[in-house]
Amino acid sequence: RKEVEQDPGPFNVPEGATVAFNCTYSNSASQSFFWYRQDCRKEPKLLMSVYSSGNEDGRFTAQLNRASQYISLLIRDSKLSDSATYLCVVNKKGRRALTFGSGTRLQVQP
Amino acid sequence: GAVVSQHPSRVICKSGTSVKIECRSLDFQATTMFWYRQFPKQSLMLMATSNEGSKATYEQGVEKDKFLINHASLTLSTLTVTSAHPEDSSFYICSARDASGEQYFGPGTRLTVT
């Protein structure tokens, strides 16, 4: 079983739509959680950290459910520029490196 | 934000040759750098953790004699792919960790072995 699992997509949505991505992680010792965005042939860039209380950054909302080991990302009012692959990333306690999911591809269409 | 550079951004080499990739933290000191590899449509996989002044720590299944890592200074780590083969063709990405624990990724190096 992969440490971090994501639906690969692609999610094809029209501009203005709301889209949600889910992610599950297997290691209960995980302590830090992130969503990264990766454009084609580019390095991943941090989109936002994810906290148990939930957090919002503009059109983006992230949620963490530690009991279910589940992380979500909600994007409201999708823009064409949101088209990318969204990576669910976990950091295990005592380990400095990050563990990446394989990503969910989003394509926002005009 | 902090900047991490990688050089070269793209390299094509013949099977059997060695390729060196540099990762530099441009405006901060990084005691720890990480090397990842990403095959098409797959996730980034950690290859090794590079510690300044000491030996790198390799992940299970990564050959340390094939992927040589040197972290000679607080701003530079190098990855050398020795005797490269076509199956080594991949996107190699480094990241550098600053004093606060934040990680910054380099732009990646696309290696093609013919």
Residues B12-70: tens digit of each pLDDT = 999 999 999 999 999 999 989 999 999 988 889 999 999 888 889 999 999 999 999 99
Nearest to A96 among B42, B44, B49 (CB): B49
Chain A residues whose CB is inside 8 A of the B7 CB are none
Chain B residues whose CB is inside 8 A of the A4 CB are 43
Residue B96, classified by CB atoms within 10 Å of its CB into exposed (0-12), middle (13-18) or buried (19+), is: buried
Residues A94-104: tens digit of each pLDDT = 777 899 999 99
Cβ of residue A10 closer than 8 Å to a chain B Cβ: no
Higher-pLDDT residue of A31, B38: B38
| Min Cα–Cα distance to chain B from A13, Å | 20
Contacts of A98 (CB under 8 A, 6+ apart): A34, A89, A90, A91, B34, B44, B46, B95, B103
Are A96 and B108 within 8 A, CB to CB? no
